[in-house]
Amino acid sequence: MWTRRGDTAGPPPRHPAGAADHGETLFISDLHLTPGRPETIRLFLEFLDGRARRARHLYILGDLFDAWIGDDDDSAPYQAIRAGLRGLTSAGTACTLLPGNRDFLLGRAFCRDTGCTLGRDPTLTRFAGVPTLLMHGDLLCTADLDYQRFRRRVRNPLVKAMFLWKSLAARRALAEGYRRQSGTAKTDKSAAIMDADPGAVTDYLTRFRAVHLIHGHTHRPADHTLTHQGQAARRTVLAEWHDDRGEVLVHRDGTWHRETMLPSGAEQHSTSRS
Give the interface with Mn ion as residue ranges (CB under 5 A).
Answer: 63, 100-101, 217
Q: Which residue is nearest to Mn ion (CB)?
A: 217
User: What residues form the annotated binding site for Mn(2+)?
Assistant: 30, 32, 63, 101, 136, 217, 219
Q: Which residues are annotated as a binding site for substrate?
A: 101-102, 144, 182, 186, 189, 217
Q: How far is the CB of 32 from Mn ion (least distance, A)?
A: 8
Residue (73 or 138) nearer to Mn ion, CB: 138
Find out whether 209 and 228 touch, Cβ atoms under 8 Å: no
Q: Which is nearer to Mn ion, 37 or 252 (CB)?
A: 37
Quote the DSSP letter at residue 138.
G
**Helix, coil or strand: residue 247:** strand
**Residue 202: C-alpha distances to residues 11, 79, 127, 238, 245 (Å):** 41, 40, 20, 18, 32
Query: Shortest approach of Mn ion to residue 63 CB, angstroms?
Result: 4
The CA distance from 97 to 118, in Å, is 5
Cβ pair 57, 125 in contact under 8 A: no
Annotated binding site, which residues?
30, 32, 63, 101-102, 136, 144, 182, 186, 189, 217, 219
24/138 with CB nearer Mn ion: 138
User: What is the closest distance, in whole angstroms, from the C-beta atom of residue 11 to Mn ion in the complex?
Assistant: 32
Please name the helix (run of DSSP H) or strand (run of DSSP E) that holds residue 132, with its range, or none: strand 130-134
**Least separation in angstroms between CB 54 and Mn ion:** 27
